[in-house]
Chain A
């Protein structure tokens, strides 16, 4: 084997080496104190992994992790002491109690925005600590509970640090692999999408509330596991170890370690335990050290030490190990991502050769029916008794001067805005697992439900997920298809199956990127993409939801002439796939070449509804656009 090949093999088998190293590690440390420290580190690793899922992946700043850890510890300890059930039953019990509590709390607080959420979780933690202190008959009050038995396996008691190390190690490895697996899966991509832009994620059919509650519950389950492990290792639980300042410290070390990365949790756990165990002699310096470390690391490595580590490894020539690494190359060197002249050049495979417009697959059936729709903002009537219908398969354009209510209408159809009055019906053409057969009401549905009915949209200013790569942006669009989703069971216990499923999802996402000509940007974080490409990527993302109706808000705004031509080609191709297009446009030229059907809005009223070629002859439309009425009545200057 040549040198590089050997290196590549070593890289492929790196997890094997790491796990083997971890298994033999304590055998070299004959010192009981060091073994003890190792066990504690593993327990905190589990705890901080949970915190990383809720903060790093789902973006909810939860500051009650130490209290939930306490719940796990107390639950397991109380169960074992009261009923003398074995540890193997009290561990799942503790996990269940914690997950249940996390679920309840999260259901109450899930709709709060970040700062409020942080505060509510602090409050929740304080309440729990109060319960630990005051429910004396169960928790032992301020004295805590002592004499918690060590777990036993048959006749073998797991009470030495060395044997407990292997127990904690297996749990920690499970938790660590679980987090890697979640982060990579369709579920993790959707979670990160919710973190970056909740409105856009919902518009793609992601139920953000459900996902956030799920992340919180998972985090609580991790905390419960860690708590039970701790209680039976230490043999004692007391209320002092679970205070809010502990929660805040855990949050700090996680941020220093690196949010959103499993390695960040490991670094955080090591920092936390080293700080607590080794600096015990200088405990009065501990706080100052912790605080200044946080400030210094934040100043020099805002991505945390894990992010710094990745970029350093890459700089020293680790090579293209896997996709995630390629992803971080582009994170680190944004300027190397070369901007293309136009996405069309690489984009027109033979399938994009276009038939004439008249061949468009328009049916006589209505896809969307809007009836007497009224939307008001305070005293302003943005939509004034608007009624029209869009035929299935047509390219429909909605135009009108600024402030005519175009975007409001789009938001109302998409479920982002509630109308004061009126009916909005949609007739799904294909019945799929998520779509009903009959025509359905759209008013009153939340935006992710609307997306699941087969209605997808883009936004006036691009709403991509900036911290996700192009391919992951498209994967968010696939989330609403059940066959693409991985179950949590698989993620934790059959990670290789989850990985295979994930590969399928990625391949399909790649196809959508090829379709729109964005394939070569698949690993670029979208915050580094140029403007025109972002707009196209938004369309690719919508197509991944396999919509029947696609709503586009000013798709050509800010595009160059060549980009616009390519866009027209792309939209015609999409139309030929049988997708109904509803386009809000400013650009009359675009309307002239694309539209089958045009509605003109002015001050919230429909003033024209018909074929585009009749537009110029319509006096009302000309007035609205050229403002003749106004210049006659009231001179502007």
Chain B
């Protein structure tokens, strides 16, 4: 029972982890909280739905195409809407623009699809195999595998490629990066595009397990953010750990306490953690310099 609970917690945990990775990527390179992450996730699910249903594509192409489309959308949004904000108090103004984006995306989805729930075509085998009487759904393996692969790709990209180096440099000192010839504008668009595409991929991954609906992103965005903060905002491995912990804790609360208190439990833990360790579970404490 316990192991089973933990396992199914891991499945949603990996989805939170993907969203948290998106938050971390944007925060790390732009010092911005992307409040539209949850809605981009929802958009990914709907785009995936269109591609799978109307174009009858297989799962992997759906995944890649959705990722690509959202990547382009993210780049454009950053370039034309967010970038003009960045000259004056970028944190607050940028954040508000992403709030605007999230509301618009939700509104568009509502106009296009209404409040109905849509079933996503089962493109993957929904079977499971069992080890010692614990059944492990294949979905979980696929979701977990994809998330970990994306995490590895992100870490390698940022740490070992030239563009990645530029991104890290631009995030730490914009002016300094500009002076040495880094195209900071492009780098920021790239970061936002990457994070949007992560959210979209997460949307497609979870869609076969859930129903697709216009409001599915709101809570997911908050949970993804929670996961990112739990693991210390801006750290990629931390984001994944935060996501997994969140998923497991949530499922255990639902299993052993009551599913009514599932969300409340998560947020209570969050406030507790933040009050005791404001730098996140895995973050290092740092002194603000005078």
Q: Footprint of B on A, CB under 8 Å?
A: 61, 108-109, 111-116, 118-120, 122-124, 126-127, 130-131, 133-134, 199, 244-245, 248-249, 251-252, 255, 284-295, 298-299, 302, 407, 411, 416-417, 459-460, 463
Contacts and interface: CB of A to CB of B under 8 A. Distances in A.
A149 B162 CA distance: 68
A441 B96 CA distance: 45
B99 A116 contact: no
B102 A127 contact: no
Interface string B103-120: 111111011001000000
B216 to A, nearest CB: 13
Contact of A123 (B27, B93, B271): B271
Q: Tell me whether chain B's interface is mostly helix, strand or loop, or mixed.
A: helix
Nearest to A105: B271
A288 B97 contact: no
Contacts of B137: none
Contact of A248 (B99, B114, B225): B99
B34 to A, nearest CB: 11
B260 A130 contact: yes
A584 to B, nearest CB: 13
B107 A287 contact: yes
Contact of B111 (A131, A284, A460): A284
Given A126-B263, A287-B103, A302-B85, A116 B229 contact: yes
27 contacts: A112-B275, A115-B33, A116-B278, A119-B222, A120-B270, A123-B266, A123-B267, A126-B222, A126-B264, A126-B267, A127-B267, A127-B268, A130-B263, A130-B264, A133-B260, A248-B35, A251-B96, A252-B96, A252-B103, A286-B107, A287-B104, A291-B100, A291-B106, A291-B107, A298-B85, A299-B84, A302-B85
A295 B101 contact: yes
Interface of B: 27, 33, 35, 81, 84-85, 88, 91-93, 96-97, 99-108, 110-111, 114, 218, 222, 225-226, 229, 233, 260-261, 263-264, 266-268, 270-271, 274-275, 278, 288, 290
For the complex of A and B, the 10 pairs showing the least CB-CB separation, nearest first, are A287-B107, A123-B267, A291-B103, A288-B107, A291-B104, A294-B100, A130-B264, A295-B100, A127-B264, A291-B100
Nearest to B280: A116
Contacts of A291: 99-107
A112 B274 contact: yes
A251 B264 CA distance: 22
A302 B100 contact: no
Contacts of A251: 96, 99
A290 B84 CA distance: 20
A24 B268 CA distance: 48
B93 A134 contact: no
Contacts of B261: 130, 134
Contacts of A292: 100, 104
A542 to B, nearest CB: 15
A252 B264 contact: no
Nearest to A108: B275
Nearest to A245: B218
Contact of B110 (A127, A131, A287, A459): A287
Given A115-B233, A122-B222, A294-B99, A288 B274 contact: no
Given A108-B271, A130-B261, A298-B100, 8 more contacts: A115-B27, A115-B233, A122-B267, A245-B218, A252-B103, A290-B103, A294-B100, A298-B97
Contacts of B96: 251-252, 255, 294, 298
Contacts of B103: 248-249, 252, 287-288, 290-291, 294
A119 B270 contact: yes
B246 to A, nearest CB: 12
Nearest to B263: A126
Nearest to B288: A199
A255 B95 CA distance: 11
B33 A123 contact: no
B85 A288 contact: no
A289 B100 CA distance: 10
A255 B89 CA distance: 13
Contacts of A287: 103-104, 106-107, 110
B274 A116 contact: yes
A249 B103 CA distance: 9
Contacts of B274: 109, 112, 116, 119-120
Contacts of A289: 107
Nearest to B112: A284
Contacts of B278: 111-113, 116
B112 to A, nearest CB: 10
Nearest to B35: A248
A288 B104 contact: yes
Contacts of A288: 103-104, 107-108, 111
Nearest to A203: B290
A115 B228 CA distance: 11
Nearest to A292: B104
Nearest to A259: B92
Contacts of B226: 119, 123
Nearest to B87: A302
Q: Which of B233, B264, B268 has the most CB of A within 10 A?
A: B264
